[in-house]
Amino acid sequence: MLISGQSYVDPESLNLKVGRGHTVLRTVNHPNLDYEWQLSEASAKLEDYVKSFELYKIGLNDDVLAKVCPEANIELYQCMESTTDDNVQDFYEECLDYINEIFQKGADDLKQLLGI
């Protein structure tokens, strides 16, 4: 039996339980299914976390981009770029901390979503 097009489940790993009214309920006992479900949930949480990122969190906004940048000399531009790079790196570190908080077991898979 194929689950999610990826995992093969041996029929012997299916446990049959008798419920009320002699109804047969099938439960799947497969370790990859639990991991995949947890990874899916953690991926959605991580996506929401990353989407919460705003330019103002790293000291930029539309006014800075529109009014200051065209008038900036190279030194000011380099300073802003350096500060922005540092702030973005800090956000990546926050993402890594968040990954460990929500699903440490799947940290490697979640880091791949971030391109890390």
**DSSP result, 33-84:** HHHHHHHHHHHHHHHHHHHT--GGGGT--HHIIIIIGGG--HHHHHHHHHHH
Which tokens is 111 given?
């880091």
Global confidence as pTM:
0.62
Which tokens is 67 given?
């009014």
Each residue's pLDDT tens digit in the chain (116 positions)? 333 344 444 444 444 344 455 444 444 556 678 999 999 999 999 999 999 998 887 777 777 767 776 667 888 878 888 988 999 899 999 999 999 999 999 999 999 988 87
